[in-house]
A and B are shown apart, each in its own frame.
Chain A
Amino acid sequence: MGTVERAELARELEAIVGRDGVLTQEAERRVYDGDAYTLHRALPDAVALPRTTEEVARIVRICARRGVSIVARGAGTGLSGGATPILGGLVLSTMRMSRILAVDPDRRLVTAQAGATNASLSRAAAPYGLHFAPDPSSQVASTIGGNVAENAGGPHTLKYGVTVNHVAALTVVLADGRVTRLGSTAGDAPGPDLVGLFVGSEGTLGIVTEVTARLTPSPESWRTLLAVFDDVNACTETVTGIIAAGIVPAAMEMIDQVILRAIERALHVGFPEDAAAVLVVEVDGPEPGLDRDADAVEAICRRQGAREVRRATDEQERARLWMARKKGVGTVGRLAPNMVTQDGVIPRTRLPEALARVAEIGRRHRIRVCNVFHAGDGNLHPCIVYDQRDTDEVRRVESANREIVELCVALGGSITGEHGVGIEKLSFMTAMFGPSDLDVMRAVRHALDPERLLNPGKLLPEPVSP
C-alpha cells in the first residue's frame, strides 16, 4: 500500500475510532506483524483498535470499499500464524473490546466482547460456582474471540469438550460490513449450525465481535494423580487402559523426561528427574464417586508398571501441578534459543507407536524432540528445540516437522488438534483432504467472503491451477 493510500485509509479510520485508535508508524505496526508462530512475520499497512461492534462494522465497510484485506487479531498467542498479516492490509485488534457484557448464572451464559480474555470469563462466573470450560495454556492472555477463531482446546477438553461445544451465540461482522447474530441463547437454533461453522474458521468467514458462551458448573471436587513411569510405553498403555475401563477423566496429560527435567529445573515442583515419563490424571465431579474413579485409575497405573502414584492432597498442590503442566512448553525454551511446537492428533490407541516413531524421526535428523501433550485426546505436542542461527539444523527441523505431521495423517489422524492451520500448516492440508473436499470448503468461504478480504491466505491452500 502506498503512502498516500495509507494516509487516506488512516484518515477514514480515525473518523471512526479516533486518532489513538489507528496505528500507522512502522514501529507501532511492527508489534502486529505476527503471533506466537515466529517463523514468519509480515507488517500490516495499518492497525485499527475499535471498541464496539458498530465500529468494527464501519471499518469493514471502508475496507470492503477500498479492497483492503483485514486480519482480525486477539492477543496474538496463536501458534499457527493465523494473525500474521501475510498480505499486509489492516490488522483489526480487539484489545479495546475486552468487556464482560453480562453474566447470567441461571441461564448459565456469559456474554463478552471478543477481546475479553479466556480467564476473565471464568473469573466473572466464579462467584456463581460456574466456569468457562476450555482452558488453553494461553488462557490468561488469549481472548475469547481468538479462542472462537481457532476452536481452542486445553487439557480439560478431554471431558468438557473444545470451544465449539461451549458457544451459544456469536455477534459477527460479515465481509460486507453487515452485522448478524448467529446461534441462540436457547441453543440449537433452527437451520444449519452457523455457529459451529464459524468456530474454528480462523477469521476467514467473518469477524466475531461478541460471544455468548455457555458456563459449566465448576466441579464440586477433584482427585489429581501423578503417575511416574520408567518406560514411555507403559505410560501410553495406561492412557488406553483408563479409557477402556470406562473412566472419562477431566484431563490426562503426559510429560516426557526432557520436559520433566526442564520443568523441574525451572519450577521445582518435585518431579522425579530420572523418570521416563509422568502422567497427570484428573478426575472431577461431585465428591461421592470420586474415590472410586481415582482408585480405579491408580490400580490401572500400577498394573501397567507405574513405579509410584501420588495424589495431590490439597488445592495448592493441584494448582502447582497444573501450573507446571501449562508452563511446561515455556520451560523448554531454556533448552535452546528456538522452538517449534507441533499439534498433530492421532487415534489414542496408536500413541505408543506414534511416540516411538517421533523419537526415531528426531534421532535420524539429529534434533531434540520432547513431548508434553494431551494424551487422553491423542493430541501430540512434540516440541523441537533448535538454534535458528544454525541453518543446517533449521533444515533438519523442517524435514522432521514435515515427517511428524505426515506420520499423524498416516496413522489416521489430523495435522492440527487445537492450534489451527493458519499459514504454518497450509501446505499440509492437501495431505489430509482431497481436491473436492478443499473445493467445497473454498465454496463455503466464497459464499461468505467473495472478495477474500478476511484473513486471506490462511486455512485453505490455493487451488493448483490446471
Chain B
Amino acid sequence: MTTGGGAPDGMETPLLDGHAADRVVAPDETQLADAMASARHAGAAVVPWGSGACVETGNPLRAAAWWALSTRALSGIRAFSPGDLVVTAGAGTPLGELQDALRAAGQWMPIDPPGGESATIGGALASGVSGFRRATYGSVADRALGVEAMLADGRPFRSGGRVMKNVAGYDLARLLFGSRGALAVVTSVILRASPLPPARRTLAFDAPAPAQALRAVEDLCRDRRDPSWAAVVSGPPARVLLGVEGNADLVGHRCGQFRRALREAGLAEAPEESADPPEWAPADDAPVAATLGCPRGETAEIVGRLDAVADGWIADPLAGRALVWWRQAPQREAVLAAVRSAASPSGHLTWTRVPADWKQTMEVFEGEIADPALVAALKRALDPGDVLCPGRSVGHV
C-alpha cells in the first residue's frame, strides 16, 4: 500500500474534474479495510480507481478532500475452471490479462468496455458501460455470476457464486453494476466465460450519409438477421462495421447475406477489418462528449439530428445508442440544447465528458435513469457516512 501522497509507479495522478487526489492508496485485500478506515479518519471521500477509463463521467464530487483507491493490488486471476467456463478475477485485473488466461484454454470474455485491454474487471462492472459486443453477448453484469466487495465501513460481503444459475439471495453484482463506486468497493468478480468462436470476421462498408448507414443495419435486424456486433462510425463517408462470429459455416453464410443486403442498400464494401470492434469511447482530444441511449431502431434518427452539429460520433444500432463529441471547446448552451433535443423521449442521456465548470449547474445523467430516491435510500443503508464517491451518482447521490 502506498503511504505517501503520490500515485504508485506508472500511474498518472488521478484527477477528478480538475482536482488532483489528496492521496492515492493501493491496498491489497488484507489492507483494504484499514485503508478505508484511514480515509474515514482523515475525513476524505474515497473514489475507487481502476484504469480510469470511465471515471471522468459523473456528477461533481461533494467532498473537500478525496483519496483515489487504486485497485491495482486487487489484481489477478484467482481461480479458473475451464471445464465450467468460470473464472474469478480480482477487481483490478486488466481485461487483457484475463483474455490471455482464457485464450490459452480456447475461451474468451466477450466484453469490450471502454479502456480496451487495460480496462479493469471491477471498473467494467462498476461503470456499467459496455462496448459494441453488448447486444449479443450481454453486459459484464450478464456475465457476473458472483461478486465480492467491501462496504465503506470495512465490512466485506459477497453475493452469487461460481455456478451458472443462482437465485439465492439478492444479486448484489447487479446492484453494483453501474453504481460507479457509490455503494461499495468491488474486490473480485466471478465471471462466466465463453468458448472462442471458431470463426470471426469483420465486414466494412462506406455510406455517403450516416442515416443510410444506420438504417441499413436496422433493416438487417428487422429481418432478424443480427450480426454479432455492429458499429457505425462518423465520416464522411460513414463507415459500417459488422462483426460476424460463430461456426465457420454460419459465418460464411451470414457474410454473404450481409454483403448482398448492404450493397442493395447502396453502401460500398471496403476491405475487411480487424476482428475486434472499435472502442466505445469518444475521441481522446474531445472536451465534450455525450452518450444517448434509445430504444432499438431509433439510432438512425438520433444520429441524423446530431451529425451536422457534432465533430464526430460512433453508434451502436443493435443496442440503441450513440456517442457524440465535440473537439473545439463548444458553446455550452448550444450543445446542451442540441443533444437534449436529439435525445429519445424514452431513452437516457449521459454527459460522458464535460468541462468541470459545466457540471456545477447540471445533472450528468438525464432521462430514464435509476430512480434517484431509491439510489439515495440504498446509499444511506450501505454507506451512511457518505464516504464513497459522494455526489457523483445519479441525482447527485
Residue of A nearest to B319 (CB): A187
Give the complex CA separation of A174 and B377 in angstroms. Answer: 12
Contact indicator B168/A288 (Cβ below 8 Å): no
Contact indicator A443/B382 (Cβ below 8 Å): yes
Distance in angstroms from B342 CB to nearest chain A CB is: 14
Interface membership of B116, Cβ < 8 A: no
Instruction: Choose one: A192, A218, A288, A440; the contact of B179 (CB below 8 Å).
Output: A192
A188-219 CB contacts (< 8 Å) to partner B: 188-197, 199-201, 217-218
Contact indicator B138/A190 (Cβ below 8 Å): no
Give the complex CA separation of A106 and B219 in angstroms. Answer: 9
Q: A165-B142, A288-B250 are in contact. Are A436 and B377 (CB under 8 A)?
A: no
Number of interface residues of B (CB under 8 A): 91
Contact indicator A441/B172 (Cβ below 8 Å): yes
Give the complex CA separation of A379 and B167 in angstroms. Answer: 11
Give the complex CA separation of A67 and B23 in angstroms. Answer: 49
Q: A184-B293, A192-B375, A437-B159 are in contact. Are A289 and B253 (CB under 8 A)?
A: yes
Q: A129-B224, A186-B368 are in contact. Are A191 and B141 (CB under 8 A)?
A: no
Residue of A nearest to B175 (CB): A197
Give the complex CA separation of A217 and B83 in angstroms. Answer: 29
Distance in angstroms from A287 CB to nearest chain B CB is: 8
**Residues of chain B within 8 A of A441, CB atoms compared:** 159, 169-170, 172
Contact indicator A447/B378 (Cβ below 8 Å): yes
**Residues of chain B within 8 A of A52, CB atoms compared:** none
Contact indicator B252/A414 (Cβ below 8 Å): no
Q: A191-B179, A432-B168, A459-B169 are in contact. Are A246 and B368 (CB under 8 A)?
A: no
Contact indicator B169/A193 (Cβ below 8 Å): no
Which bucket holds chain A's interface residue count?
Answer: 35 or more
Q: A161-B142, A187-B320, A447-B380 are in contact. Are A246 and B196 (CB under 8 A)?
A: yes
* Interface window among A31-39, A85-93, A416-424: A416-424
Interface membership of B187, Cβ < 8 A: no
Contact indicator A189/B369 (Cβ below 8 Å): yes
**Residues of chain A within 8 A of B188, CB atoms compared:** none
Interface membership of A181, Cβ < 8 A: yes
Give the complex CA separation of A161 and B144 in angstroms. Answer: 12
Give the complex CA separation of A258 and B345 in angstroms. Answer: 56
Interface membership of A66, Cβ < 8 A: no
Contact indicator A187/B293 (Cβ below 8 Å): yes
Q: A440-B151, A444-B175, A447-B380 are in contact. Are A421 and B247 (CB under 8 A)?
A: no
Contact indicator B159/A289 (Cβ below 8 Å): no
Q: A345-B163, A345-B164, A421-B168 are in contact. Are A436 and B296 (CB under 8 A)?
A: no
**Residues of chain A within 8 A of B161, CB atoms compared:** 345, 412-414, 432
Render A392-416 as a binary contact track against B, CB cut-off 8 A, 1 for contact.
0000000000000000000011111
Q: Most chain-B Cβ atoms within 10 A of its Cβ — which of A150, A165, A346, A347? A: A347
Contact indicator A106/B297 (Cβ below 8 Å): yes
List residues of chain B with CB under 8 Å of any chain A CB: 81-86, 106, 128-130, 134, 138-139, 141-142, 151, 155-159, 161-179, 182-183, 194-198, 218, 222, 224-226, 246-254, 293-297, 319-321, 344, 346-348, 350, 365, 367-375, 377-378, 380-382, 393-394
List residues of chain A with CB under 8 Å of any chain B CB: 104-109, 129-130, 150-151, 153, 157-158, 161-162, 164-165, 169, 174, 180-197, 199-201, 217-218, 240, 243-248, 285-286, 288-289, 291-293, 345-349, 374, 376-379, 412-421, 425, 429, 432-434, 436-441, 443-448, 459-460
A-B interface, 6 closest residue pairs, ranked by CB to CB distance from nearest: A196-B174, A191-B370, A289-B250, A246-B195, A447-B381, A288-B253
